Amino acid sequence: PNWRPRFTLYHWGTSLLGLVLCLTLMFISNWYYAIIALCLAAGMYKYIDFKGAEKEWGDGIRGLELQAARYSLLAADHQSLHVKNWRPQLLALLSFKKTLSPDNNGLLSFARSLKHGNGLVIVGTVVPRDLIDIKPEDDVIEAQQAMLKEGLKVHKLEGFIQVTCEENIPKGTTQLLQTAGLGGLRPNTILMGWPENWKTKKQL
């Protein structure tokens, strides 16, 4: 089902050469039948992709995407960043709300104005609950993730969601700051709203 070659002398160049030879023989034998066969294969693929057929054995394209993402992350982590390539990698800390509040919407809108579709955006929030005390039927984490994804969609932001559970909000915020990102894609800029009642609160 999945392509995992065990031949010790395997190389992607040999597979590419085989593909080129097969296509060449198809067109040498009968060029218009070759075009019809390629069109039928492409049409079947797009039809199955459009209908969203269940992939019981995994998706080969998905595997290639994950492999390319892994290679890019490793390359970004091992190579030094030039000053001309520096971009603000944002970590937007949103307050815990059941719906998108005006302050959260304002923070996402500000992130949109800063990014314009470039660089990394991670939107995180802290659920003021102990993870051990959350029951399986309690969907508070899933609800927060769905709300944040909707916020990204509304403000036309492309980014990632990170939700952590901690009764102590400052500790949960520290967890987000330490664990957000992966490899070379780690935030270097923090966005957060102005704290409410900051003159009377001892902890900020």
pLDDT digits (tens, 9 = 90+) for 6-38: 666 777 788 889 889 999 999 999 988 999 999
Asked if 108 contacts 97 with a C-beta cutoff of 8 angstroms, the reply is no
Q: What is the pLDDT of residue 1?
A: 42
Q: Which helix (H) or strand (E) holds 165?
A: strand 160-165
Q: pTM here? A: 0.60
pLDDT tens per residue, range 117-142:
567 788 989 888 888 877 777 788 88
Higher pLDDT, 59 or 136: 136
Higher pLDDT, 60 or 100: 100
Integer-rounded Cα radius of gyration of the chain = 24
Three-class secondary structure of residue 138 per DSSP: coil
Structure tokens at 46: 């797009």
Looking at residues 68-75, what average pLDDT do you find?
81
